[in-house]
């Protein structure tokens, strides 16, 4: 049995407990994502696959007469809710171990930790036979460099974390080559800076000051968390934070 229902905001499936349906569900949901302009799906595929395998193997104990329901719905433009329900007895999810098994060869029990790593949030219903997962697609942060009134302005399109650190490093070095002593970071779209990107900012400031002693780099539109971080780590010695 394989039933599918779809409209603009969601796609839902109901199917008997058979692993053979997985690829079909993945394909159909990817089509749904594409209709919502979502590009790359590898992590999403992993999450959906693990969820369905869990519900078939552990939830329904591979009992073919039992069905699994899966619904993928749009929360907002880059976020989706994935709901998977089986007909099993549920389980005590409070005892779940979200930590990845240490043995890389171990394939069992990777499911939930893997989902937890890739998704934003996992919730269960009280019985434990229905799981709700929020999954976000992330646009990789781009760095826009422009010249505004003679100031070289660097505007990241989102958070600066280790995953974009290499790009960030390149942008910083290129900016230094411009020989412009008027540099501004516009952090209006940055909510988070991790310590790797903070390392880069300090190293950059150090190199910048060698070139332009006593010149301060400007940071505009930073949120309070970032302001506090700059204060705590004393990076505000090199960066003048204004609104």
Partner 1 sequence: MKHILIAEDQQAARFVFTFQLKKVGFKVTSVENGALALKAIQENLDSDNQIDFLVTDIEMPEMSGLDLYKKLIDLEIEIPTIVMTAYGTKHVVVELMRMGCSEYLDKPFPPEELINRINQIVAEDEKQKKKKSKLEDDRNRFELELNSYKRSSEKLREQVNSAKNAYENIIKIEKKNLNVNLSYKIEPLADLGGDFFSIKNTETGCDILLADVAGHDMGSSFHTILIKSVFEDNVKLMRNGNDFFTKLNRRLIDESENNRLVTAVFIRVNLEEMKAEITSAGHPYTVFLGKDSDKPNQIAVLGDILGILDEVSFETSTIKIKSKDRILLYTDGIEDHGYINSETGKKIKLKDSGLIKLACENRELELEPFVDKTWNSILEFGKYNAKDDMTFATIEIK
Footprint on this chain of partner 1 (rule: CB under 8 A): 75-76, 78-79, 81, 96, 98, 102, 104, 116-117, 120-122, 134, 136, 162, 191-192, 194-196, 198-199, 202-203, 206, 225, 231-235
Q: Which is nearer to partner 1, 66 or 227 (CB)?
A: 227
d(CA 239, CA 33): 41
Selection from 217, 213, 223 nearest residue 243 by Cα: 223
State in angstroms the smallest separation of the CB of 21 from partner 1. Answer: 27
Minimum distance, C-beta of residue 64 to partner 1, in the bound complex (Å): 33
130 sits in the region (left: phi over 0; alpha: psi -120 to 50; else beta) called beta
Q: Which residues of 29-43 are buried (b: 16+ CB within 10 A; e: fewer)?
A: beebbeeeebeebeb
217-220 vs 183-186, strand pairing mode: parallel
User: How many DSSP H helices and E strands does the chain contain?
Assistant: 6, 11
Whichever of 4 and 46 has its CB closer to partner 1, that residue is 46
Smallest distance, Å, CB 182 to partner 1? 23
In whole angstroms, the minimum distance from the beta carbon of 34 to partner 1 comes to 21
Query: What is the rounded CA–CA span in Å between residue 129 and residue 125?
Result: 7
DSSP SS3 for 68: strand
Report the residue number, 30 or 202, with the smaller CB distance to partner 1.
Answer: 202
Q: How far is the CB of 104 from partner 1 (least distance, A)?
A: 7
DSSP-H helix ranges across the chain: 22-35, 42-54, 111-118, 165-177, 195-211, 224-232
Which CB, 51 or 235, lies closer to partner 1? 235
Q: Which is nearer to partner 1, 98 or 127 (CB)?
A: 98
Structure tokens at 176: 């230094």
Nearest distance from residue 199's CB to partner 1, in Å? 4
Minimum CB separation from partner 1 for residue 206, in Å? 7
Q: Which is nearer to partner 1, 136 or 240 (CB)?
A: 136
Considering the complex, state which of residue 29 and residue 197 has its C-beta at the smaller distance from partner 1: 197
Structure tokens at 211: 């070139």
* 25 Cα distance to chain centroid: 22
Is residue 165 within 8 Å of residue 143, measured between CB atoms? no
């Amino acid at each position: 049995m394989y039933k599918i229902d779809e409209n603009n905001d969601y796609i839902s499936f109901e199917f008997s407990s058979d692993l053979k349906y997985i690829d079909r569900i993945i394909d159909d949901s990817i089509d749904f994502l594409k209709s919502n302009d979502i590009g790359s799906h590898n992590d999403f595929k992993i999450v959906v696959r693990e969820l369905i395998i869990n519900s078939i193997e552990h939830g329904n104990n591979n009992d073919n007469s039992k069905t699994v329901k899966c619904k993928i719905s749009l929360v907002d433009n880059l976020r989706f809710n994935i709901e998977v329900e089986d007909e099993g007895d549920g389980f005590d999810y409070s005892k779940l171990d979200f930590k990845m098994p240490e043995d890389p060869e171990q394939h069992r029990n990777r499911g939930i930790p893997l989902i937890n790593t890739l998704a934003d949030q996992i919730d269960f219903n009280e019985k434990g036979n229905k799981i709700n997962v929020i999954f976000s697609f992330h646009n990789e942060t781009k760095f826009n460099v422009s010249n505004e009134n003679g100031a070289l302005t660097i505007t990241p399109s989102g958070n600066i974390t280790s995953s974009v650190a290499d790009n960030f490093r390149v942008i910083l070095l290129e900016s230094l080559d411009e020989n412009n002593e008027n540099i501004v970071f516009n952090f209006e779209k940055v909510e988070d800076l991790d310590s790797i990107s903070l390392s880069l900012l300090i190293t950059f400031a150090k190199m910048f000051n060698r070139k332009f002693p006593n010149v301060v780099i400007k940071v505009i539109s930073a949120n309070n968390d970032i302001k506090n971080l700059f204060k705590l780590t004393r990076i505000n010695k090199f960066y003048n934070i204004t609104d």
